[in-house]
Structure 1
Amino acid sequence: MNKIEGIIFDFDGTLAELTIDFNDMKRRLKALGEAFLEPLPEIGALPALEWVDHIAACLETDDPDLGKEFHTRCRFLIISMEIEAAKRGKLFPFTYSILRGLQQDSIKTGIITRNTAAAVKTVLPDVEKLCGCFLSREDVKNVKPHPEHILKALDFINICPEHALMVGDHPLDIETGKRAGTMTAAVASGRMSISELNEAKPDFVAANCQELIDMLRENKLL
């Protein structure tokens, strides 16, 4: 396994407590969607952002303006819920020490998130000082699990994928890293158990980021 020269972290559930209720978000989005299109198409477990894009595209087929209105109203709803959740959120106790320690050891870091930048900066105002690159969903055309999200961050910190590690609390994060060609690590500090995370077959699994970094140091991968 290659020496790790750079680490890209997810944010919510990885570096900060996960406070947003995604099930409630989907319920509210569905109620809004039913005011525009009924019946709504069945699209399974599609994440909220992709769900909104899909419904908007359906509406735009017959009425482009209606599709844009729906998309805008949904985005406002999502952002308002994200910021409210961020006001209740807090960093994990180890977050500052991990990021500063990696800086001192010349390990380049980045943070990528599907969240809005305003929500992240509510919890971590100095995010851009603690890592070499911070990319929220507003900063990329395609958010994770699309590899563009992590590849753009790696390009910014000048690290090739084979020497990088993607760290997150959800199988989606592991998929992102695998699609980009990085090593992957899953942490059970969000809402997924270690057994659930193991199903995504990451290279490393730990209870949280502190345990993960300790493991990597012990194995001389950092």
Structure 2
Amino acid sequence: MKKIEAIVFDFDGTLAELTIDFSDMKRKLKALGSAFMDPLPDKDELPALEWVDYMADCLSNDDPDLGKEFHTRCRFLIISMELEAARTGNLFPFTCEVLNGLGESGIKTGVITRNTGSAVREMVPDIDKISGCFLSREDVENVKPHPDHLFKALEMIGVSATSSLMVGDHHIDIETGKRAGTMTAGVATGRVSIDELNKADPDFVAADCAELIKILKNKNLL
């Protein structure tokens, strides 16, 4: 493996406590969706953002205005839950030490998230200062696992994908890195175990980001 020149991190569950209840979010979205369409399409496997987009597209086929109304209401619901979760969340104790240590070693860093930027800034007002770039879902046209989310971060910090590592607590993060051509790492600080992360076949797995950095240093990749 090449020496790592940049590490791009997911945020919730990777650098910060995962306080968003995604199951509750889907339940509330489906309750709202039932007021617009009954029965609802069987698309429970889709994450919340993609589920909303799919539903809105279905409604828009018959009534574009209804599709827009549904999409807007869902986005307000999602953002309100994200902001509420952010008010009770915190960075992990190791986060600033990891980011500062990488910066001092000349390793560039970035943070990308499917979360809304306002929720992340509610928790970490200086998020734009603690890493080389920060890109929420509002900052890109296509959110991860689409590789464009990661490509834009790498462009901003000026490092190629083949010299970079994507780190996250979910298989979506690992998929994002694979699609972009970076090395990948899974950390078990969210709601996914190491065994489950291994099923996504990342290059590295660790209990948390601090342990991951130790693994990378031991392998002489940093």
Q: Identify the residue that residue 17 of structure 1 maps to in structure 2.
A: 17
Is 1:217 equivalent to 2:217 in the alignment?
yes
Structure 2 match to 1:206: 206
1:105 alignment counterpart: 105
Q: Does 1:124 align with 2:140?
A: no
| In 2, Cα distance between equivalents of 1:209 and 1:50 | 28
Q: In the TM superposition, what whole-angstrom CA distance separates every residue of 1:55-101 from its partner, at most 9, and x where no partner exists?
A: 00000001000000000000000000000000010110000111111
Task: Give distance in 2, aligned partners of 1:131 and 1:106.
Answer: 12
Partner Cα distance (1:184, 1:2) in 2: 13
4+ residue stretches of structure 1 with deviation over 2 A?
none
Aligned to 1:83: 83
Where in structure 1 are there 5+ consecutive unaligned residues? none
Deviates more, 1:161-170 or 1:122-131: 122-131
| Alignment partner of 1:157 is 2:173 | no
Deviation at 1:127, TM superposition (A): 0.8
Task: Please report the TM-score for the alignment, with normalisation by the length of structure 2.
Answer: 0.99
User: Shift of the alpha carbon at 1:44?
Assistant: 3.1
Match in the other structure for 1:28:
28
Task: Identify the residue that residue 50 of structure 1 maps to in structure 2.
Answer: 50
Summarize deviations over 1:96-125 as a string: whole Å, max 9, x none: 111111111111000000000011111111
Is 1:169 the counterpart of 2:169? The answer is yes
Matches of 1:76 and 1:188, distance apart in 2: 30
Matches of 1:66 and 1:161 in 2, distance apart? 41
TM, length-normalised to structure 1: 0.99
Percent sequence identity is 69
Distance in 1 between residues matched to 2:95 and 2:120, nearest whole Å: 13
Partner of 1:134: 134
| Count of residue pairs the alignment pairs up | 222
Distance 1:181 1:115 in 2: 23
